[in-house]
Every structure is written in structure tokens, then in C-alpha cells.
Amino acid sequence: MSRAQQTVTIRNKLGLHARAATKLAKLAHQFDAKVKVLNDGKEYDASSVMCLLLLAGSQGKQFDIVAEGTDAEQAVAAIAALVEARFDEEC
């Protein structure tokens, strides 16, 4: 089983709000991998909007994306790209 991990920083002004969390969760569902977000010693299911909102990810917050499964590397790369692109928001 493949495993991948990458640290990302939230760059958009509103942080990981409901719309951004929904985009991340939908993206996590597209891969054959179990995707998690790790922060401050806690683990969150990246395919759950509610879990992502519990992360309380404000602008500048760093967290790790970890995936295990066939598509682990692709899942981490795609989610990291989404976060880097500020969840496709203006700012």
C-alpha cells in the first residue's frame, strides 16, 4: 500500500471555511486512498466537511495531508495544489 504526506499552508483570507472544506472533501473522495489531515497531534478525515471545519484552519495555518492507498501520491498532490491555489478563491 502506497503512502504519501505533504505539509501545506492555508493562504486564502477566509481560511478553511465551509465552501473550501467542501471542495477539499469532494476532491479527497475522488481517489482510491484514505486521506487525513494532521494538525496539533490530531487526525481529521479529509473526506468529511464537518471534520475539516473542526480543524479551524485560518489563514497561515499549516497542516499535513497524509494519504494511504493506491492513489495516495495523486491525492496528496491534488489536495496540496488546491490549498496552494487558495481553494480557487480570489484572495
Q: What is the pLDDT of residues 37-58, one digit of tens each?
A: 999 899 999 999 999 998 888 8
Q: What is the DSSP pairing of strand 3-9 with strand 34-39?
A: unpaired
Locate cell 498532490: which residue? 77
pLDDT at 91 over 70: no
Phi first, then psi, for residue 66 (nearest 5°) are -130, 135
Locate cell 471545519: which residue? 53
Provide the whole-model pTM: 0.93
How many structural domains are present in the chain?
Answer: 1
Which among 2, 6, 11, 17 is annotated as catalytic?
17
Residue 21's CATH number: 3.30.1340.10
Q: What percent of the chain has pLDDT over 70?
A: 99
> Catalytic annotation on 29?
no
Domain around 80: 3-88
